[in-house]
Structure 1
């Protein structure tokens, strides 16, 4: 089997730039036109990466990012350590763009559009998403003058960043096998774009709306319904017609050991020498997920205070359910640590579980009003 390479996720930091190249005609064409080594860019937001492809903006598990050549995968990081505030703003912007459409023409014509100082649209392409995430946070991009029309090559040459060495590793057989399994994110992505596209069509067909609203991401839909609640039932109906609101527990069927104590004990027995490392890896993504769900719950409760419409109620239920799934996972992980005698680690996980429990309760209180 030919060697494959991937990122060592343990070494990634929030805000890291992930640059890649592929052995495809499209990738080679981009590299020729831009005179660069890389053809694609993504950004690590903790637990997952956000990227803009022809399918749109969505999150992707870095464990599924495999390359044949280690030179085709690189990570760039700010030369100056990022403050927590700037880091959170960078990630906030990137995550807020999930659901946006891909700016095909702007990506293809970025050089003339940059030279002619033309106005950008709200759509995204890979390097724009990354650069604008940093611009949104007020980060000094130094010699990167136009974040809206930059290429992966320009990101790699930006004086604000430096290449991180020793972060690309050879993939093990188990890692290759996982990367080739069906990605559940694809299903959720399809559902998200299905209902968002219906909202876009609704706005385009309504003269009173099409001039005022450019629907790219969910934030745009929220703004629409805050100002025009008469469209709430229609938009909420679009969501309910997909699995978007009910897909929160898909992981239970894929990884049942994360939600059942007996199954977790059986899983731990597969790692007699490094059960603690296995549990640490299971825990790794949870704090960032909780942080995202917390922000979503707080923002949605705020929106409900302005307009108590079904669209926001359904989203609060969704975020509450996602947080509760995380709570269950934390309780099972804590049980796992206790079972191998690592009580200090178990206590830390229990504190994280209490954090999640607080926001589940807060959401329940609002939903019961």
Structure 2
């Protein structure tokens, strides 16, 4: 066991924040507060921290607190004077698949209620794990799902056990002091992620009136599959919670991130813009786009179990995918203009290949199944992707879509119809 507890240093006499650029997806973030409950946990566990979070992206952590499992902006967390914090990283580097598994587990738990009883039992043995979460359980279970055991019992562990885990090593120099000016600004600034937490909790609160067994957003989907009569009430809850509208707030707040011309004219420093662009593209390369995955999931659900709730979620994730693609495009262009990124031509997938079907299946599983069935019925892949007629030619969309392969094999009739709304060119 490694003991990472330490005495209070002079630097901890001021409020501090995390140096987010040093913290990577998969890192375990441990913190504490001056609150009596935190003090009790520290005293009981013998550690200098009382809370655990897991990093799932640049400056983004997910944790379980009194208001449930939610995402938070790590850069907005202020450590009060005298409060310790640690960032831990696996001694054995995680694979890309393991990182994706950890992030997916944590995100799937968003909205799950916090269990005070479970947290209290985490220092005891012999209890059966429930479906509710507490902070250290969330972290340990996410890692266990990726094949990494941080502690002996992932279902009941406390933050102090994570701190002493031999499977983790501490990342140095991840904290810095806040100047008085920064502190004043930071405390007045609004944590905009709170709006998402409030919206998610409002949606789940209404959903639990239908079934107290609903813990997370995924549970709503499962409930609706079995109980179509709840569709209208859940659609009303979806609208009332503003869950469908939050993307507008984000766009208005950070409009400079969505278009290269606006980004160029934004009054932020070049250093800040470069950091933002590089971190966004690094996350894009490392993590699967959850908007695309969720869109595909809801397309499948709405195909097999038509519900207005599912249809609205398909529309939402279509919008989120489009706007995310705009951010990536703007960031890429900004870096390319400054010679910080080498331009790369778009990769066109040849229709009806395994890679093409994988991209289509991820975005629109229904269309993928229909195309596969059409090909099988004709006994040849050299047919139209839409109607299975031949002859057919390969086309690429002039404006590449935010998701999906962006190419099709079309007969003349289908090409004329599709090209009216989606300009295409042969390739």
Instruction: Answer yes or no: is 1:301 the counterpart of 2:293.
Output: no
- The aligned runs of 1:106-185 (5 Å cut-off) are 106-111=118-123, 114-115=124-125, 117-141=126-150, 144-171=151-178, 173=181, 177-178=185-186, 180-185=188-193
What SS does the aligned partner of 1:345 have? coil
Aligned residue among 54, 63, 66 for 2:75: 63
Instruction: Give the length in aligned residue pairs.
Output: 344
Unaligned runs of 5+ in 1: 205-213
State the alpha-carbon separation in 1 of the partners of residues 221 and 230 from structure 2: 11
What SS does the aligned partner of 1:87 have? helix
Which segment is superposed worse, 168-177 or 224-233? 168-177
Which segment is superposed worse, 232-241 or 94-103? 232-241
**In 2 relative to 1, CA 196–122 (structure 1 residues): closer, same or farther, beyond 3 Å?**
same
Structure 1 vs Structure 2 CA RMSD: 3.0
Aligned residue among 77, 80, 96 for 1:84: 96
**In 2 relative to 1, CA 58–257 (structure 1 residues): closer, same or farther, beyond 3 Å?**
same
Unaligned runs of 5+ in 2: 1-12, 348-398, 408-417, 419-427
- 4+ residue stretches of structure 1 with deviation over 6 A? none
- The aligned runs of 1:197-208 (5 Å cut-off) are 197-204=205-212
- The aligned runs of 1:189-228 (5 Å cut-off) are 189-204=197-212, 214-228=213-227
What SS does the aligned partner of 1:305 have? helix
CA contact (8 A) 1:3 1:170 kept: yes
- The aligned runs of 1:268-307 (5 Å cut-off) are 271=269, 276-277=274-275, 279-281=277-279, 283=281, 285=283, 291-307=289-305
State the alpha-carbon separation in 1 of the partners of residues 117 and 135 from structure 2: 13
Bigger CA radius of gyration? 2
| Partner in structure 2 of residue 357 of structure 1 | 402
Shift in Å, 1:290: 6.1
State the alpha-carbon separation in 2 of the partners of residues 21 and 274 from structure 1: 29
State the alpha-carbon separation in 2 of the partners of residues 56 and 88 from structure 1: 22
| Partner in structure 2 of residue 12 of structure 1 | 23
**In 2 relative to 1, CA 345–178 (structure 1 residues): closer, same or farther, beyond 3 Å?**
farther
State the alpha-carbon separation in 1 of the partners of residues 400 and 93 from structure 2: 27
Instruction: Answer yes or no: is 1:44 the counterpart of 2:55.
Output: yes
CA contact (8 A) 1:16 1:76 kept: yes
Shift in Å, 1:254: 1.5
**In 2 relative to 1, CA 288–349 (structure 1 residues): closer, same or farther, beyond 3 Å?**
farther
- The aligned runs of 1:213-362 (5 Å cut-off) are 214-267=213-266, 271=269, 276-277=274-275, 279-281=277-279, 283=281, 285=283, 291-338=289-336, 340-342=337-339, 345=341, 347=343, 357-359=402-404
Q: What TM-score, normalized by structure 2, do the two folds share? A: 0.72
Shift in Å, 1:57: 0.7
CA contact (8 A) 1:38 1:152 kept: yes
| Partner in structure 2 of residue 102 of structure 1 | 114
User: Which of structures 1 and 2 has the larger relative contact order (alpha carbons within 8 angstroms, sep 6+)?
Assistant: 1
Q: What TM-score, normalized by structure 1, do the two folds share? A: 0.83
State the alpha-carbon separation in 2 of the partners of residues 63 and 164 from structure 1: 17
State the alpha-carbon separation in 2 of the partners of residues 322 and 243 from structure 1: 15
CA contact (8 A) 2:292 2:403 kept: no
